[in-house]
Amino acid sequence: MSQLANELKTEIIKALNLEGVSPEDIENDAPLFGEGLGLDSIDALELIVLLDKNYGIKIDSAADGKAVFHSISSMVAYIESKK
Amino acid sequence: MTKRVVVTGIGIISAIGKNTDESMQHFRSATSGIGAITHMDTVHKNNLPVAEVKYSNEELLSLLNISNHKSNYTRTSILGMYAAKQALESAGIHSVKEKKTGLISANSVGGMDKSEVFYAQFLANPSKGKISNIVGHDCGDSTEHIADYLGIKEQVTTLSTACSSSANAIMLGSRLIQHGLLDRVIVGGTDSLTKFTVNGFNTLMIFDKEACRPFDATRNGLNLGEGAGYIVLESEKSAAESEKKIRGFLSGFANANDAYHQTASSPDGNGAYLAMSQALAMSNLQPTQIDYINVHGTATQNNDLSEGIAMKRIFGETVPRFSSTKSFTGHTLGAAGGIEAVFSIMALEQQIIYPNLRFKTPIPELQLIPETELIEGAGIKHILSNSFGFGGNNSTLIFSAA
Amino acid sequence: MTTRITSYCRITNRFIYVNNALLHSNEDLAFADFAKQAYKLATLNYLKFFKMDNLSKLGLLAAEFTLAGKNWQERYTPDEVALCFSNASSSIDSDRKHQESIGNRSNYFPSPSVFVYTLPNILAGEICIRNGFKGENSFFIFEQFDAENMVNIVQQLFINEQCKACVMGWINYDSEQADALCCLIEKSDNEKELPFTAENYSYLYFNTKPQ
């Protein structure tokens, strides 16, 4: 869990150009959208590309991504369930 | 408006025909132009419906009497030349030189269709790739070609504000007439389908894999389209001098920024609300005097909800009859405002309201029901037409019967 | 009252001038790094800045320096401020990035956040989001810097009662080459301020440079 979680945090920071954010700043269970990192709908689409590019996992619609991208923990759980 | 600006000509080409008559036949028979991709070579060929103009570049050039072996016009240019020429002819203008005549043309993709051909060749082999395929890349290129083709030398300007581009070109043209800088002006826009836009919108996940369903609860995105639409605006004086038939008036317009998000419309439809209310104020019309709204209605989750909320804020529980003609033409991006301006004038002249195809269930939050059947003898005096673009760019035009 | 240029910012390759005073320069930096320095200088504190493409970064910075200390909120409502920009290269920098990402079928991962910026008017949208402007927006493409047309178009906005101020100018970005002039246009009786004419607007563009 923690290795994949850390890997994801680094990838997300890079893919979403999160200036001044380091992996330690992102808590595993904190919400990524809204209050948390302040991500928006375009960031959600970028995360769909990230999952496809780095993990070969396809998500078909933005609506399907909502639950998956709730937090780092939910993303890790989703990636592991697809392995 | 201080001085009235009149519409004396209209020209159109889209997936539902290469002139106003063909377009009207499609509306009457409820035949949409949305279907499988035939012209583009793309991975999305068999799974994304689009609204293509049914003619190849060669066929269009031949219809324009241009020998194609000499030209390397982009599809954006050809579509624009085709519709702008038609608009000029329909206004009965034989010489653009006898009065101060301008052209304000809008587009969003420029000559990307040819640039893509160049890129593919060039990437495969840097010594290959016809340089003539990229000279038309700039957004201004199609405008220059249209101006040259029509012989227009006065004001020639290109405007690019995403999907509201054409509506903004119409606004600028109207001001140039009102302020006496031009006697007449051809305004509107052109855009062709390209892999660039198909792939780009695909990343935004806002394509419906079936034909789009504007304002329906089950709407699932837009279909891209292509085409061009232009109208000829003149001062009342200029039209009277040449005893022109007045096709309609541009009685109000406004543009406002939603200032919310790069692509998404705000949940309360602020930009749309401002554009519609300011256009109404300019036209000195009360909301109750609007007889039909040609909505932006792209059929994305976000647009239709936000636009509907803005409509309710202005019109309350008595929203005028409305429909989205994008259910016929797809979303033609930078050309949409021009194409829908032409449809507005046709509706005023023929007293027809167009059907909104494939609507079944109202959006729960709105409970708004568009017109689903063509209405004849519609008794319409004033039409409000919306065009909203990425970048929060929201425009409203109001056309009134002659 | 006359329409006047009440404030302006000129950004050329690695120089920033605000109202004719050199604010910052660093010729050794790539644009992204230069933009980051300028961001700090403007004390922007607006992390969305780092998600923008280079064209929007350039436009946002130019507008930020132009508007600094102008307190427009005290004089105008958000829908009274119009934006009117122009350039020659449209959104070419982002267009190229997007085109490259769709060119290769074996490595096909087009980015939605790149595609969003393949429209030049997004930069005007970004300035509106940042400042809360809700007035009229337009964006024009000219072959080269064009003063006559732009001044003409903006002057006409002021005939419309709705528009009381306009943030306007030329924002061009292509392959590390940044070229921007942003002006705040207001109605004013202050004769120390430049009247908004094609001649003056053009003068600022061509003559604000290292002497």
Cα C99 to Cα B43, B195, B330, C108: the distances in Å are 15, 9, 23, 11
Strands B321-323 and C165-174: unpaired
Structure tokens at C20: 């004719």
CB atoms within 10 A of CB C100: 14
C72 touches chain A (CB under 8 A): no
- pLDDT at residue B154, rounded to an integer: 87
Cα separation of B223 and B206, whole Å? 9
Contact between residue B294 and residue B356 where contact means Cβ atoms under 8 Å apart: no
Nearest alpha carbon to residue B162 among B229, B241, B222, B107: B107
Dist. CA B346–CA B340, nearest whole Å: 10
> How does the average pLDDT of chain C come out, rounded?
95
pLDDT at position C211, please?
67
Distance set, CA A76 to CA A9, A47, A81, C40 (Å): 10, 13, 9, 35
Mean per-residue pLDDT, C68-92: 96
Q: Which residue of C has its CA nearest to A54?
A: C109
By CB atoms closer than 10 A (0-12, 13-18, 19+), residue C151 is buried
Q: Which of B158, B58, B60, B160 is nearest to B109 (CA)?
A: B160
- The pLDDT of residue B1 is 46
CATH fold of the domain at C2-207:
Peroxisomal Thiolase; Chain A, domain 1 (3.40.47)
Which residues on chain A are in Cβ contact (under 8 Å) with B221? none
Question: Which residue did the predictor score with more confidence, B136 or C88?
Answer: C88
- Cα–Cα distance, B178 to A16 (Å, whole number): 47
Which residues in chain B have their CB less than 8 angstroms from residue C147's CB? none
- Residue B139 falls in the annotated catalytic set: no
The pLDDT of residue A62 is 85
pLDDT confidence bin for C209, thresholds 50/70/90: confident
Task: Say whether A41 and B203 touch across the interface (CB within 8 A).
Answer: no
Rounded distance between C-alpha atoms, residue B82 and residue B70, angstroms = 17
Task: Assign B123 to helix, strand or coil.
Answer: helix
Residue-wise pLDDT for A2-23, tens only, equals 899 999 999 999 999 999 899 9
Neighbours of A77 (CB within 10 A): 15
Question: C116 and B204 in contact by Cβ < 8 A?
Answer: yes
CA atoms within 13 A of residue C202's CA, in its CB half-sphere: 12
Mark which residues 44-63 of C lie under 8 Å from A by CB.
47, 49-51
Sign of CA dihedral B128, B130, B131, B136: negative
Residue C107: per-residue pLDDT: 85
Using the structure block, give the residue that is written with the tokens 């375009």.
A42
Neighbour tally for C206: CB within 10 Å: 11
Residues of C in contact with B205 (CB under 8 A): 112
Min Cα distance C25 → chain B (Å) is 30
Calpha distance B330→B323 (Å, rounded): 13
Mention every residue, 6+ apart, whose C-beta is less than 8 A from residue B203: A45, A49, C110, C111, C112, C115
Cα–chain center distance at A68: 8
The H-assigned helical ranges of B156-269 are 165-178, 195-203, 236-241
Are B382 and B291 in contact by the 8 Å Cβ rule? The answer is yes
Print pLDDT tens along chain B (402 aa). 457 999 999 999 999 999 999 999 999 999 999 999 998 878 888 889 999 999 999 999 999 998 866 677 899 999 999 999 999 999 999 999 989 999 999 998 877 777 777 767 776 777 766 666 666 667 678 999 999 999 999 899 999 999 999 999 999 999 999 999 999 999 999 999 999 999 999 999 999 999 999 999 999 999 999 999 999 999 999 999 988 899 999 999 999 999 999 999 999 999 999 999 999 999 999 999 999 999 999 999 999 999 999 999 999 999 999 999 999 999 999 999 999 999 999 999 999 999 999 999 999 999 999 999 999 999 999 999 999 999 999 999 999 999
Task: Report the C-alpha gap between B365 and B125 in whole angstroms.
Answer: 54
Per-residue pLDDT reduced to its tens digit, C147-201: 999 999 999 999 977 899 999 999 999 999 999 999 999 999 999 999 999 999 9
CB of C99 within 8 Å of a chain B CB? The answer is yes
CA distances from B185 to A62, B97, B109, B373 (A): 43, 12, 23, 34
Residue B171 gets the label, from left (phi > 0), alpha (psi -120 to 50) or beta, of alpha
User: To which H or E segment does residue C17 belong?
Assistant: strand C15-18
Residues 248-267 of B with CB under 8 A from A: 261-264
Helix, strand, coil proportions of chain B in percent (round to 5)? 35, 20, 45
- Tell me whether residues A45 and B261 touch, CB distance under 8 A: no
Instruction: Choose the catalytic residue: B39, B137, B163, B382.
Output: B163
Q: What percent of chain C has pLDDT over 90?
A: 90
The Cα–Cα gap between C180 and C45 comes to: 22
Closest by CA to C171, choosing from C96, C69, C86, C106, is: C86
B218 at A interface, C-beta within 8 A:
no
How large is the ipTM? 0.93
* pLDDT above 50 (res C76): yes
Q: Give the pLDDT score at C11.
A: 97
Distance in angstroms (rounded) separating the CA atoms of residues C9 and B241: 47
Q: Identify the pLDDT of residue B2.
A: 57
> The tokens of A45 are what?
């689409």
Nearest to B388 by CA among B302, B289, B281: B302
Residues 6+ apart with CB under 8 A from C73: none
Largest CA distance in chain C: 63
Query: What distance in Å separates the CA atoms of residue C57 and residue C35, rounded to the nearest whole number?
Result: 7
- Contacts A61 to B, Cβ<8 Å: 205
HSE at residue C40, side-chain half, CA atoms within 13 A, is 8
At B48 the pLDDT is 93
Q: What are the distances in angstroms from CA B270 to CA B308, C134, C163?
A: 11, 9, 18
Nearest to C109 among A17, A43, A52 (CB): A52
Distance CA B217, CA C183 (A): 45
Q: What was the pLDDT predicted at A71?
A: 93
Quick one: CA dihedral B207, B212, B213, B215, positive or negative? positive
DSSP state of B51: B
C-chain residue closest to A52, CA distance = C109
In this structure, what are the phi and psi dihedrals at residue C47, rounded to the nearest 5 degrees? -65, -20
* H or E, element range at B227: strand B227-235
Q: For each of the domains in chain B, give its residue range(s) and CATH number, in order of start.
A: 5-241 (3.40.47.10), 251-400 (3.40.47.10)
| DSSP per position, C47-110 | GGGGGS-HHHHHHHHHHHHHHTT--GGGT--GGGEEEEEEESSTTHHHHHHHHHHHS-GGG---
Domain boundaries, chain C: 2-207
